[in-house]
Amino acid sequence: MPGDMGNAVGRVLREHGHRVLTCLEGRSDRTRGLSEAVGLEDAGDLNALVREVDMILSILPPASALSQAEAVADAMAATGAHLVYVDCNAISPELSKQVGVAIEGAGGAYIDAGIIGTAPGKAKPPRFYVSGVDTSPMEALDGKGIEVMALAGGIGAASGMKMCYAGLTKAKWTLHTAVLMTAQKLGLSEALLEEFAHSQQEELKSMKFMVSRLPADSGRWIGEMEEIAATFRDSGVPTGFHEGATDIFRILSETPFASETRETIDPNRSLEESLKVYVEHLPKAP
């Protein structure tokens, strides 16, 4: 699914000599534009896609991971195609195993994967952690605009790696946001930011860069926080922090800034301006 990450991965794989197809049936004009801009071929529908390709990289919001895998499994069953399916989404190890059951039940091979890093071309190449019975099809893509890191532990290891990593990074941004919204409600924003400038310069730098940008991704990161909470729960670790992170992203998704995309985020909107709007969307006290 050629969103921000998917279209960039498709682009670098094309640049390294691979034919890259997608299925744009039912997709938005923005997604179609992103796909066309990097030269991805539209197969038309999933049946046509699975007949043409050797491997599918599933890159889409986590809430759609299982339904997408089931749709591909149905297409494989309908066409008799057998391919490698790589789930690269931010999902729990348990959900990754369910995806694997769907794919393998249709005769496909399954690789569990988790992406860490930004889209290719923006900074260092993203790392695709992979695990499963045979990860060599993905390892063959190492150095082709992405890094591929094989993990021991079978299906679920790569997804678990992503959950633990994002359990720090994205969740930390929600902690920043929660702290700043509380200060805003207490009338302490100016004083707190001055103190951070004095004693927490690196944290403040991160706040100023990220907090105003979060609404654009908040809708799809709700599902990611839910998957992280599920991973912690399955591991016997308390889940409350990531359930709270989910709630912060829900609040941000209700703000007018959530209609922005990564291309249209207002780079001049200040942290202070963002916070004033965020607190207006806090749940009302009963």
53's torsion region: left (phi>0), alpha (psi -120 to 50) or beta?
A: beta
User: Of the residues 135, 155, 175, which one is the last residue of a structural domain?
Assistant: 155
- Cα–Cα distance measured from residue 154 to residue 246, given in angstroms and rounded to the nearest whole number: 28
- Nearest of 4, 8, 39, 40 to residue 22 by alpha carbon: 40
Q: What are the residue ranges of helices labelled H in 187-239?
A: 189-199, 201-210, 215-234
Q: Are 138 and 177 part of one and the same domain? A: no
CATH number for 21: 3.40.50.720
Q: Are 147 and 223 part of one and the same domain? A: no
Question: Is-contact 131 154, C-beta < 8 A?
Answer: yes
For 10, phi then psi, to 5°, come to: -60, -40
Q: Are 195 and 112 part of one and the same domain? A: no
**What is the domain count for the chain?**
2
Q: Are 89 and 165 part of one and the same domain? A: no
pLDDT at 4: 79
Residue showing tokens 């799809």: 220
- Cα–Cα distance measured from residue 89 to residue 91, given in angstroms and rounded to the nearest whole number: 6
Q: Are 221 and 252 part of one and the same domain? A: yes
Distant-in-sequence contacts of 273-276, Cβ < 8 A, 24+ apart: 273/212, 274/211, 274/212, 275/180, 275/181, 275/184, 275/189, 275/211, 276/184
Q: Are 145 and 61 part of one and the same domain? A: yes
Q: Are 31 and 114 part of one and the same domain? A: yes
Q: Which domain holds residue 19?
A: 4-155
Q: What is the pTM of this model?
A: 0.92
Q: Are 274 and 172 part of one and the same domain? A: yes
Q: pLDDT truncated to tens, each residue of the chain (286 aa)?
A: 777 788 889 999 999 999 999 988 877 787 788 788 888 888 889 999 999 999 999 999 999 999 999 999 999 999 999 999 999 999 999 999 999 999 999 999 999 999 999 989 877 999 999 999 999 999 999 999 999 999 999 999 999 999 999 999 999 999 999 999 999 999 999 999 999 999 999 999 999 999 999 999 999 999 999 999 999 999 999 999 999 999 999 999 999 999 998 889 999 999 999 999 999 999 987 6
pLDDT at 178: 98
CATH number for 240: 1.10.1040.10
Q: Are 41 and 147 part of one and the same domain? A: yes
User: What's the CA dihedral at 87, 89, 91, 94 to 10 degrees?
Assistant: 0
Question: Is-contact 130 59, C-beta < 8 A?
Answer: no
Q: Are 149 and 12 part of one and the same domain? A: yes
Residue 286 lies in a domain: no
For 58, phi then psi, to 5°, come to: -85, 115
User: Of the residues 139, 155, 171, which one is the last residue of a structural domain?
Assistant: 155
Residue 264 lies in a domain: yes
User: Of the residues 99, 134, 155, which one is the last residue of a structural domain?
Assistant: 155
Q: What six digits make up the tokens of 22?
A: 């997608």
Q: Are 240 and 172 part of one and the same domain? A: yes
Cα–Cα distance list, 6 to 32, 41, 125, 132, 178 (Å)? 12, 13, 13, 22, 30
Q: Are 106 and 13 part of one and the same domain? A: yes
Neighbours of 79 (CB within 10 A): 14
pLDDT at 180: 98
Residue 235 lies in a domain: yes
Residue 285 lies in a domain: no
